[in-house]
Structure 1
Amino acid sequence: MAHFDEKSGLVPCATPWGSWSQTIDEVFIEVNVREGTRSKDIKFNITPSKLSLRVSGELLFEGKLAGNIVADESVWTLEDRKLIRLVLVKSGREASNCWQSLLIGQYECDPLVFNEMEKKLTLERFQRENPGFDFSGADISGNYHKGGPQLTADD
């Protein structure tokens, strides 16, 4: 059985070095590097709240993560010696934990991309709550900010 994000796709946030996207559980980072890069050229430093990546001595990014992660469960791979894929496991795993930026003050999504990310995480939450239904092709409208419909005093 395919996971929700495999059927519905992810919403990427473009960056100068590649892109990042997220699900309820994970943050995916794709970094384009010079062809021929070797794993020994990569220095990846991760803690539950900070991340840095150096390739061939050049700092690509460094800073405080927008949310906490489980550093011991996060991994990276080098594909075809030209693409680094990082998978960060979020410590807060609920639809309301939608990161607006990868690092605080850096690589922030524009409002339309963030809106789409929030919608995907909300649909993913619906899928988990209703495992017999397929929400991968669904679209939602209304107020789904922070992982679900919000009730106001007027409701």
Structure 2
Amino acid sequence: MSSSEADKAAEKAAAEKEAAEQAALPYQWKQTIAEVDITVPVPQGTRARDLVVEIKSESLKVGLKGQEPILEGKFPKRTVLDESTWSLEDQKSVEIHLEKVNKMEWWAHVLTHHPQIDTSKIQPENSKLGDLDGETRAMVEKMMYDQRQKEMGKPTSDEEKKMEMLRKFQQQHPEMDFSNARME
């Protein structure tokens, strides 16, 4: 077996282990870069008054009154308490919506004592560049261009600007020796 085949097999095994660990949790969850949504199954016919749901900026507790919590623990990162909500859906699941304080960070898990996912494998949903305002769109397009350039071993847009400025300066000052000039 080649090393790339071994790497693929190890990656597949890790993905299967991660999927099994996540499936064993007493809830399902998904996230975007800015928020986390959790679905906690409860017995059919459950009413809101039968529930104990405590959302805090750093922790969560969900359960039925008078019973051990279905889940309880600390979040890996802080949430915006005023923008985090819960609701009972069809008397069979508690839907929890959390707004992340840091809207530029993926969570590896919902509660710190639960198994983690590999956040490097997250494929964010592609937002449409047309949905962004002009300044943000320009910044995202520049970042995408620079990323492609780096992947191909080519200079980024900032490096290209520096090289262009140096070329113009060299043309304006042919009497100067630029043989030892370095780009930094």
User: Given the two structures, how large is their TM-score scaled by the length of structure 2?
Assistant: 0.54
Which residue of 1 is the match for residue 137 of structure 2? 130
| Structure of higher CA gyration radius | 2
Q: Distance in 1 between matches of 2:101 and 2:89?
A: 26
Q: RMSD over aligned Cα, in angstroms?
A: 2.9
Shift of 1:58: 2.9
Q: Distance in 2 between matches of 1:130 and 1:15?
A: 40
Distance 1:61 1:107, change over 3 A: farther
Q: What is the aligned-residue identity percentage? A: 29
Distance 1:37 1:24, change over 3 A: same
**Bigger fraction of residues in helix:** 2
The answer on whether the counterparts of 1:49 and 1:64 sit within 8 Å (CA) in structure 2 is: yes
Equivalent of 2:111 in 89, 98, 103:
103
Q: Distance in 1 between matches of 2:127 and 2:64?
A: 34
Q: Which residue identity does 1:37 align to in structure 2?
A: T
Distance 1:91 1:28, change over 3 A: same
Which residue of 1 is the match for residue 87 of structure 2? 77
Which residue of 2 is the match for residue 120 of structure 1? 124
The answer on whether the counterparts of 1:100 and 1:108 sit within 8 Å (CA) in structure 2 is: yes
Q: Secondary structure at the match of 2:124?
A: helix
Q: Distance in 2 between matches of 1:14 and 1:86?
A: 18
Q: Which residue identity does 1:70 align to in structure 2?
A: V
Which structure carries more relative contact order (alpha carbon 8 Å, separation 6+)?
Answer: 1
Q: Distance in 1 between matches of 2:115 and 2:98?
A: 16
Q: Distance in 2 between matches of 1:14 and 1:116?
A: 17
Q: Distance in 1 between matches of 2:111 and 2:128?
A: 24
Which residue of 2 is the match for residue 31 of structure 1? 40
Q: Which runs of 5+ in 2 are unaligned?
A: 1-18, 141-184
The answer on whether the counterparts of 1:14 and 1:20 sit within 8 Å (CA) in structure 2 is: no
Distance 1:24 1:115, change over 3 A: same
Q: Distance in 2 between matches of 1:75 and 1:84?
A: 10
For 1:36-47, what aligned pairs fall within 5 Å after superposition?
36-47=45-56
**Bigger fraction of residues in strand:** 1
Q: Which runs of 5+ in 1 are unaligned?
A: 1-11, 134-155
Distance 1:32 1:21, change over 3 A: same
Distance 1:124 1:50, change over 3 A: farther
